Amino acid sequence: ETALKILEDALAIQDAGCFMLEFEAVPAEIARIISKELEIPTIGIGAGNGTDGQILLGYDLLGVFTDFKPKFTKRYSKLTEVAVSGLKEFIAEVKNAEFPDDDHSYNVDEKELEKFKNIVEKRKQI
């Protein structure tokens, strides 16, 4: 009954001029059958591989958000682990005064620096 309603709605929006349809969390075979009945392309997210295309949220497929994983999401990387590791390394280098180093800082000409220091000292005397 629900599958029939989805088919009827899909046909109705197609007839109304819709240019594509997304199936989300629809059983794979239902999405496949309805996709074949439509003239417009279908995109699936949690709807099996019988649609014309697939979509996943970047946060889900990269493993950024680890507290919840929808059934239809496959994680292709563990970006959160990589990010946390990088942040820990950054914090450690800052605490140990290893970053920023000369390679990651802008330099000033020595003569210009001396001029600036003199100006600063003169301002203190005023």
Q: Which of 1, 8, 22, 24 is catalytic?
A: 24
Residue 42 has pLDDT above 80, yes or no: yes
pLDDT band at 53 (very low <50, low <70, confident <90, very high): very high
Q: Give all strands (DSSP E) within 1-126, no chain letters.
A: 21-24, 42-45, 53-54
Q: Is 110 a catalytic residue?
A: no
Which pLDDT score is estimated for 117? 95
**Tokens 């007839």 appear where?**
15
Q: What is the pLDDT of residue 22?
A: 97
Contact 25, 47 (CB under 8 A): yes
| pLDDT over 90 (residue 119) | yes
Q: What is the pLDDT of residues 89-110, one digit of tens each?
A: 999 998 999 988 999 888 899 9
DSSP secondary structure string for all residues of 85-109: HHHHHHHHHHHTT-SS-GGGS----
Check residue 74 and give its pLDDT.
82
Q: Name the residue ranges covered by the structural domains of the chain.
A: 2-55, 79-125
Answer whether 98's CB lies under 8 Å from 104's CB: no
- CA separation, residue 31 to residues 5, 34, 35, 59, 118 (Å): 12, 5, 6, 24, 76
What pLDDT is recorded for position 2?
94
pTM of the model: 0.63
- Determine the pLDDT at residue 68: 76
